[in-house]
Amino acid sequence: MRTLGNILWLVLGGLPMAIAYVIAGVVMFVLIITIPFGIQAFKLAGFALWPFGRVMVEIPGKGGCVTTVGNILWVVLAGIWLALAHLASAFFLAITIIGIPFAIANVKLAGAALVPFGRTVMSQAAARAQSYPVVVDVKPLG
């Protein structure tokens, strides 16, 4: 079911969102000083492209001042725009009955787009095995 959900997600909006993250990442790499932001954008692009079966988790011991400053800068530079794109996609998906679960997934991913620093994306099994606190878990259909 997870693979079917990911394929439907890809067709119904995952690909344009992943492209938006890749564009943000390329811009961040071009600016050189924002390369760490570009790396986060590429991680989120993979999550936005194929989200089911993976989760975003808090990394223990990775909080603090640097993470907070990174998240604040991220929100200003790219996070708010990517989150708004997720919310716009969610709005249009929610119009159709089949799109409602994907609209909910987009809203969850909008939250992930806002504050990615201090977090990472991994498989659900790895997160469970390492007992990391899950921040974003996008469930497949059914």
The pLDDT, as a whole number, for residue 141 is 61
Q: Strand, helix or coil at 54? A: strand
Average pLDDT score, the chain: 89
Instruction: Give how many domains the chain has, as a whole number.
Output: 1
The pLDDT, as a whole number, for residue 101 is 87
The pLDDT, as a whole number, for residue 3 is 82
**Inside any domain, residue 87:** yes
The pLDDT, as a whole number, for residue 71 is 92
Band of residue 142 on the pLDDT scale cut at 50, 70, 90: low
pTM of the model: 0.88
**Inside any domain, residue 129:** yes
Which residue's structure tokens are 């530079």? Answer: 77
Distance in angstroms (rounded) separating the CA atoms of residues 136 and 139: 10
> What is the arithmetic mean of pLDDT over 87-102?
91
**Inside any domain, residue 14:** yes
Tell me the residue range of the domain where 39 lies.
2-137
Number of neighbours of residue 123 by Cβ within 10 angstroms: 11
User: Are the C-beta atoms of 115 and 75 separated by less than 8 Å?
Assistant: yes
Q: What is the pLDDT of residues 37-76, one digit of tens each?
A: 999 999 999 999 999 889 999 888 777 888 889 999 999 9
The pLDDT, as a whole number, for residue 84 is 96
Length of the chain in terms of residues written: 142
> What is the arithmetic mean of pLDDT over 31-36?
90
**Inside any domain, residue 142:** no
**Inside any domain, residue 97:** yes
Band of residue 1 on the pLDDT scale cut at 50, 70, 90: low
**Inside any domain, residue 89:** yes
